[in-house]
Amino acid sequence: MSGSNVRFIVEAGGRLSGRIRVPGDKSISHRSIMLGSLAEGVTHVSGFLEGEDALATLNAFRAMGVQIEGPDQGRVTIHGVGMHGLKAPTAPLDLGNSGTSMRLLAGLLAGQGFDVVMVGDSSLSKRPMRRVTAPLAEMGAQIETTDNGTPPLKIKGGQSLKGMFYKMPMASAQVKSCLLLAGLYAEGRTSVVEPAPTRDHSERMLQGFGYQVDVDGATASVEGGGKLTATDIEVPADISSAAFFMVGASIADGSDITLEHVGINPTRTGVIDILRLMGADITLSNEREVGGEPVADIRVRSAKLKGINIPEALVPLAIDEFPVLFVAAACAEGQTVLTGAEELRVKESDRIQVMADGLIALGVDATPTPDGIVINGSPLQGGRVNGHGDHRISMAFAMAALRAAGAIEIDDCANVATSFPGFESLAANAGLGIQRKG
């Protein structure tokens, strides 16, 4: 996908309205395939995200001998093979653009009896993997990376893993999940301590599959040697995808949109907290729990936003939503300052630099810093920006057009399909004047 130059051309102005449901949560979709494959019995998933990243995980498990039916309109049936039923793939596992797939699978595959190689696209091949391979090596895994610590990953099978106590140097749900998955195959207890709260979908879903996870404050622990029992999973709509419409409706006069069945896991709601601090009009209704995950309908009406100093405690809870939050900051009155977010520099793109470059091209006063950005609210002009093959950059700039003086043209948007298939049609139906070219 990323090789073809898909462009978005988005008309200036407009407003968002109606009731929409964005695609299923990417994090939960990944984990449903992983744990369903290792479970005993048949797992039924509904609401599965049929984006390229989640499909990369699904195809990896098919390549390791798991029978998976679907996806068909979000429904997937997984015939679990048990903890030790995976088979060696006949070729390297190609995980495309998906860092979540590669990092979580590194932990899961470190405890298997066969060798495996994992590769990715040009973007994934630049992303740092030592954050998982170094602690896995301490547990006894044998994994080779490039000299730069990037993919491909070559995992040697047949290693006996030992449980460990690990204090994570950075707040990363991917690192935490990777080590907990390795801990399922390790002798003894594996405990992971996080420096700040991160999404806890792995802990919740492991328990949903009947595997005990002990959570004590910032520490999550598992004992090796247990088993997973098949269950049914309903995937809520992805708050990271909903975030684009939350910001779009906040900045576009006259907007009133309701986003249905959105996951509001407390480790993911930083975007709501930050927008409310900026003065956004956001109300939650129909709050309920579905398969261990809290969900709600989120109504957003246009509001006059003001600049803020973003609390560092909220940064890990909104790490994927910052590209579109930078658009909110550009449309706010006054200055917004983000610090403590150096993690944004090693995502699908350097999201701090790429967003700063694009905002500046649209006339916004934006100054990148090593661990964040300073944005002074400015009138948005039309213009041409580059999505750099990063799905969240492309969608963020598409929403910026709602407040721009002229049309915005965004290059290199093919990777939007990794997390949000059908973005253009859903956004157009809600009121965004978006066209796809190429």
Question: Tell me, what's the pLDDT at 120?
Answer: 97
Question: Tell me, what's the pLDDT at 292?
Answer: 83
Residue 3 has pLDDT above 60, yes or no: no
Give the CATH number of domain 7-24+236-437; options: 3.90.1150.10, 3.40.1550.10, 3.30.70.2190, 3.65.10.10.
3.65.10.10
Question: Tell me, what's the pLDDT at 4?
Answer: 59
Q: Look at residue 229 and give its three-state secondary structure.
A: strand
Question: Tell me, what's the pLDDT at 217?
Answer: 95
Mean per-residue pLDDT for 118-146? 97
Distance CA 304, CA 333 (A): 8
Mean per-residue pLDDT for 84-102? 97
pTM equals 0.91
Question: Tell me, what's the pLDDT at 5?
Answer: 84
Distance CA 270, CA 257 (A): 19
Distance CA 436, CA 290 (A): 35
User: For this structure, is 320 an active site residue?
Assistant: yes
User: Could you tell me the CA-to-CA distances from 140 to 113, 187, 220, 232, 380 in Å, in that order?
Assistant: 13, 11, 20, 33, 53
Which of 121, 238, 297, 320 is an active site residue? 320
26-234 has the same fold as 7-24+236-437? yes
Distance CA 364, CA 379 (A): 7
Residues in the chain: 438
pLDDT in tens, 177-195: 999 999 999 999 999 999 9
Q: Which one-letter DSSP state was computed for residue 65?
A: T
Residue 356 has pLDDT above 80, yes or no: yes
Listing DSSP states for 248-270 in one string gives HHHHSTT-EEEEEEEE--TTTTH
Q: Is the peptide bond before 368 cis (omega within 30 degrees of 0)?
A: no
pLDDT in tens, 63-74: 999 999 999 999
Residue 143 has pLDDT above 90, yes or no: yes
- For the chain, what is the mean pLDDT? 96
Question: Tell me, what's the pLDDT at 290?
Answer: 85
134 Cβ contact list (under 8 Å, min separation 6): none
Mean per-residue pLDDT for 353-365? 98
3-state secondary structure 14-32: CCCEEEECCCECHHHHHHH
Question: How is the chain split into domains, by residue range?
Answer: 7-24+236-437, 26-234
Question: Tell me, what's the pLDDT at 2?
Answer: 41
Question: Tell me, what's the pLDDT at 425?
Answer: 97
- CATH number attached to the domain at 26-234: 3.65.10.10
pLDDT in tens, 250-264: 999 999 999 999 999
User: Residue 50, CB half-sphere, CA atoms under 13 Å: how many?
Assistant: 13
pLDDT in tens, 417-430: 888 999 999 999 99
Distance CA 133, CA 120 (A): 16
Confidence of residue 27 (pLDDT cuts 50, 70, 90): very high
